Amino acid sequence: MSTDRIFDNTEIAFSLKNDSELERAYFLFKMISIQPLVRIGTAATNFAIKANLPIEGLIRSTVFDHFCGGVNEEDCLPVIDKMYLKGVSSVLDYSVEGKESEKEFDSATNTILKIIDFAKDIDAIPIAVFKPTGFGRLDLYEKIGSREALTKKEQEEWANVVNRFDVVCKKAKDNDVAVLIDAEESWMQGAADELVTKMMQKYNTEKPIVYNTLQMYRHDRLTFLENEHQKAKKGNYFLGYKLVRGAYMEKENDRADEKGYKSPICINKEATDENFDKALLYMIENLDCMSLFAGTHNENSSYLLMQLMASNNLKNNDSRIWFGQLYGMSDHISFNLADKGYNVAKYIPFGPVKDVMPYLIRRAEENTSVAGQTGRELSLLTKEKKRRKTL
């Protein structure tokens, strides 16, 4: 099977966008490509939100509508239906961040439970997702990870976190909806990893339902994967992993510098790429007891995974392998993969506009700072605009 440059097909990539949507996407990526504009825009938006200035309408009609499905799950349905017509599934991503109270953690848990309920009847939503810090305070994860003694109140808080994980993973298993658990900062991830492993031991007894996330920009993750594999073989349960490169690189490096420890991040981009691709290979070679969700916008890694599947005689739609991209980005990868029958899902973030701002700012910064990413989006959009003009 040939995997020749299928991502170059812009007709398939943008088949869901009419001409004016294509123009809007072009305009947006053009703006995002201007670094000073993103810096000033981010600061001005943060200020305006804090000052309660009426800018939600402006955010909605620009970045929000491009990168998010809506303010609640029902809002996202038209997008979900439209994408599914082209074979692309959805992962509803409740993207509210930075909450700190027990009430807010309970409310996030209820939202995820509702999404699983929603997903069990909709083929277009095969997978759910949540963030560990949506269910508990980052500082608490950090304290657990560093084995510090907890106060009585913190012990109660942690018991609530464990319970929130358990209720969600159980519901996922009962309804046969896989659940991805995002990875975050390394200083909280140790506690989250231990908890997710417990969930896998409990709920992945017949097949992978609970998936942890491995950030392959961390130089220790391949060894972690190998160790978890040995544990799973002994314990007789399945592993599920979402592989990503990692979204908190600057924060990680800055903290390591500030506190004087060795950064957990690979020495350069090439080392991260190599690490990511090695993990792909490792997982493909061990599919008898693991499933893989490759969350990436990197064309080379996506082509590599396609080649690995072909050379291992796996069907394009093998149920143990998913490709994933974020809504509003890399449609050329998502829609061309789906066109060839691969399992593809896009994260569709949703939530009240001001609460999803940290997510949107990460996307704007990522598209500004990641060399080539915005340029690639712009050149694909330009190519498609030209193609349509010649029709």
Return residues touching ligand FAD (CB under 6 A): 182-183, 213, 215, 217, 244-249, 265-266, 268-269, 272, 295-298, 324-326, 347, 370, 373
Q: Which strand (E) or helix (H) includes residue 35? A: helix 35-50
What is the smallest separation between the CB atom of 271 and ligand FAD, expressed in angstroms? 6
Residue 390 φ/ψ region, left for φ over 0, alpha for ψ in the -120 to 50 degree band, beta for the rest: alpha
Residue number, 73 or 277, with CB nearest to ligand FAD: 277
- Rounded CA-CA distance 378/372 in Å is 10
Among 125, 233, 136, 234, smallest CA distance to 192 is for 136
Residue number, 56 or 263, with CB nearest to ligand FAD: 263
Amino acid at 57: G
Q: What residue is closest to ligand FAD based on CB? A: 295
- Rounded CA-CA distance 215/242 in Å is 9
Whole-angstrom CA distances from 223 to 96, 124, 197, 219, 278 are 32, 34, 15, 9, 11
Task: Write the burial class of residue 2 (CB in 10 Å: 0-12 exposed, 13-18 middle, 19+ buried).
Answer: exposed
Across 259-359, the runs of DSSP E, i.e. the strands, are 290-295, 321-326, 344-350
Among 273, 324, 275, 322, smallest CA distance to 300 is for 273
Residue number, 106 or 250, with CB nearest to ligand FAD: 250
Residue number, 109 or 298, with CB nearest to ligand FAD: 298
What is the smallest separation between the CB atom of 29 and ligand FAD, expressed in angstroms? 15
Residue number, 115 or 244, with CB nearest to ligand FAD: 244
Q: Which residues contact 311 (CB under 8 A, 6 or more apart)?
A: none
What is the smallest separation between the CB atom of 213 and ligand FAD, expressed in angstroms? 4
What is the smallest separation between the CB atom of 50 and ligand FAD, expressed in angstroms? 26
Residue number, 326 or 388, with CB nearest to ligand FAD: 326
Encoding tokens for residue 179?
């659940």
Question: How many CA atoms within 13 Å lie on the side-chain side of 316?
Answer: 14
Residue number, 108 or 313, with CB nearest to ligand FAD: 108
Residue number, 109 or 275, with CB nearest to ligand FAD: 275
Residue 109 φ/ψ region, left for φ over 0, alpha for ψ in the -120 to 50 degree band, beta for the rest: alpha
What is the smallest separation between the CB atom of 270 and ligand FAD, expressed in angstroms? 8
What is the smallest separation between the CB atom of 33 and ligand FAD, expressed in angstroms? 15
What is the smallest separation between the CB atom of 78 and ligand FAD, expressed in angstroms? 21
